[in-house]
Amino acid sequence: MSDLVQMVQPLIPGLRRYARTMLRDASTADDLVQDCLERVVGRWHQRRAEGDVAAWTYTILHNLAINHLRGAKRRGLHVPLDDSEDTALSRPPEQENALRYRDVVHAMQALPDDQRSVLLLVSVEDMSYAEAAKVLDVPIGTVMSRLARARERLRRSIDEGFHASSGNTKLRSVK
**pLDDT tens column, 99-129:** 888 888 888 888 999 999 999 899 888 899 9
Confidence at residue 15, expressed as pLDDT on a 0 to 100 scale? 92
The domain locations on the chain are 2-77, 95-165
Of 31, 94, 99, 101, nearest to 65 (Cα)?
Answer: 31
Give the 3-state secondary structure of residue 67: helix
In this predicted model, what pLDDT tens digit does every residue of 44-72 receive, in sequence order? Answer: 888 887 888 888 999 999 999 999 999 88
Quickly list DSSP for 90-134.
-----HHHHHHHHHHHHHHHHS-HHHHHHHIIIIIS---HHHHHH
For 119, counting Cβ atoms within 10 Å of its Cβ (0-12 exposed, 13-18 middle, 19+ buried), the class is buried
Asked if the domains 2-77 and 95-165 are classified in one and the same CATH topology, the answer is: no
CA distance 10 to 173: 77
Range name among 6-15, 65-74, 84-93, 127-136 with the lowest pLDDT average: 84-93
Of 70, 42, 68, 71, nearest to 57 (Cα)?
Answer: 42
CA distance 10 to 66: 23
CA distance 106 to 92: 24
Instruction: Report the percent of the chain where pLDDT is more than 70.
Output: 88
Q: What is the pTM of this model?
A: 0.46
CATH of domain 95-165: 1.10.10.10
* Angular region, 107: left φ>0, alpha ψ -120 to 50, beta rest: alpha
Mean pLDDT on 147-151: 94
Confidence at residue 132, expressed as pLDDT on a 0 to 100 scale? 92
Q: Return the CA Rg of the chain.
A: 33
- If one counts every other C-beta atom within 10 angstroms of the C-beta of residue 29, the result is 22
Q: Which fold has domain 2-77?
A: Rna Polymerase Sigma Factor; Chain: A (1.10.1740)
Confidence at residue 5, expressed as pLDDT on a 0 to 100 scale? 84
What counts of helices (H) and strands (E) characterise the chain? Answer: 9, 0
- If one counts every other C-beta atom within 10 angstroms of the C-beta of residue 140, the result is 14
